[in-house]
Structure 1
Amino acid sequence: MTTHMPSLTLPTILFQQPAAAILLPVAIGTAIGFSTRPADTQKTYLALRQPPLRPPPWIFGPMWTLLYGLMGYAAHRAWTTGMGSSFDARKVMLTKQGATLYTIQLVLNFIWMPLFFRFQRPIEATVDIVALTGVTGYLTYVWGQVDEVAGWCLAPYLAWLGFATYLSAGAGYLNGWDFGGKERPKAEKGGNTKYVDEKAE
């Protein structure tokens, strides 16, 4: 069982201040999204063979912004609720333990996109997102014992991670776990929204 590890935990102020707690994941997630060059990312996404139910590329930006905001709010709420329960040693312990888990899941979250798109390493990206989903599931359980609202705020994120794991593993499998040399189609006038496997239909 993961315990509180200060060296692997974000500074306290990033949990105490609501604006900092919410803006941190949103800002870093947005920065990583832009650093991987959105146009190239979309072309790669469209060029890969995808499993059924894959969403259109435009949905990921708004979805992740919402989920990052919810996870940031959950972090603030769990921390202030748990650390305010100074007479309940168990809640304080769970709050601190969750803070470490939260920091670990942020790191796992932020490295997925570079692994999948920039470095085109689908095996490593899928291992990463499986680990991320597991850590987030445990985090939801831990912080849910501290504050029920915080747990529910993490529930949509956990559900999306389950779906994202399916997409990551599905794309890896359908493309032979090798994204090297995949066609990067130029967008047609008005935008190209077809996946590579739809173009033959």
Structure 2
Amino acid sequence: MPSFNFQLPDFLLVAARVPIVAVGLPLGLGLLSGYPTAQVVRSDWYKKLRTPPGRPPRQVFPIVWPLLYISMGCASHLTVKALDNALSASVRSDCMLALSLYYTQLALNILWTPLFFGAKKTGIALIDSALMAATTFYMTKLVAPLSPQASYFLLPYCAWLSFATYLNGGIWWLNRRERASEKQE
């Protein structure tokens, strides 16, 4: 496989090197992104959405997401440690790609809430969710031989993203007729 020669900005590497920042960055961004959600989930729009089987109560999400943000922050820290300890250019390249994917999925993660809850664009949010899941799965596969511990921190996130993408897809599909009728009015 060709090596990945992209270099992340230093501040992103430094953020991942400092454990409290590595964990605090996704947690803080996630909490800020999710803050407006509380009002929307009480709105008529949200209450009228048809949802696929298996949707957990809304009270589960503010418990699960902080744990996942903490977990992904730990994974980023372990990945940058693998980068710092890498002896070969190939390992360094894979670590850098994994960290680039980490920040890409984090940006997609932060973007999802305003798309789904703010703009109520469930289809665009579904595309975002699928890209986030694919990016995270590839990042996890890439990081597994470099830092098995980091991949362990990412596995619950991969599972949750699969479930969240299913929920988003189900909501988009089950409510497509309502969106079509709203456009005709």
TM-score, normalising length: structure 1 = 0.82
Paired position in structure 1 for 2:25: 24
Is the alpha carbon distance of 1:8 and 1:125 closer, same or farther for their aligned partners in structure 2, counting shifts above 3 Å?
Answer: farther
In structure 2, the gaps of 5 or more residues are: none
Deviation at 1:84, TM superposition (A): 1.2
Q: Write the deviation string for residues 16-45 of structure 1: whole angstroms up to 9, x where unpaired.
A: 0000000000000001111x2412234343
Look up the equivalent residue of 2:23 and give its one-letter code: I
Match of 1:57 in 2: 58
Question: CA distance change for structure 1 residues 52 and 169 in 2, over 3 Å: closer, same or farther?
Answer: same
Contact 2:37/2:117 (CA < 8 Å) preserved in 1? Answer: no
Q: Which amino acid aligns with 1:168?
A: N
Gaps of 5+ in 1: 182-201
Change (3 A) 1:98 1:180: farther
Higher relative contact order (CA 8 A, sep 6+): 1
Match of 1:11? 12
Q: How far is the alpha carbon of 1:10 from its aligned partner?
A: 5.9
Sequence identity of aligned pairs in percent? 31
- What secondary structure is seen at the aligned counterpart in 2 of 1:145? coil
Contact (CA 8 Å) 1:8, 1:100: kept in 2 or not?
no
Residue 127 of structure 1 is matched in structure 2 by 127
Q: Residues 140, 153 of structure 1: CA spacing in aligned structure 2 closer, same or farther, 3 A cutoff?
A: same
SS in 1 for 2:12: coil
CA distance in 2, matches of 1:179, 1:79: 46
State the Cα distance separating 1:11 from its structure 2 match: 1.8
Correspondences of 1:31-180 after superposition (within 5 Å): 31-34=32-35, 36-43=36-43, 44-85=45-86, 87-176=87-176, 178=179
Shift in CA distance, 102/54, structure 1 to aligned 2, threshold 3 Å: same
Alignment coverage as a number of residue pairs:
179
**Could you tell me how far 1:179 is from its partner in structure 2?**
9.4
Contact 2:8 2:96 in 1 (8 A): no
- CA RMSD of superposed structures (Å): 2.2
Q: CA deviation at 1:8?
A: 7.4
Residue pair 1:95, 1:143 contacting (<8 A) in 2 also: yes
- Check 1:20–1:129 CA distance in 2 against 1; reply closer, same or farther (3 A cut): same
Name whichever structure is richer in helix by fraction.
2
Alpha carbons 2:3, 2:94 under 8 Å: kept: no
**Whole-angstrom CA distance in 2 between matches of 1:151 and 1:157:** 10
8 Å CA contact 1:21–1:75 kept in 2: the answer is yes
- Verify the 8 A CA contact 2:3 2:93 in the aligned structure 1: no
TM-score normalised by the chain length of structure 2:
0.88
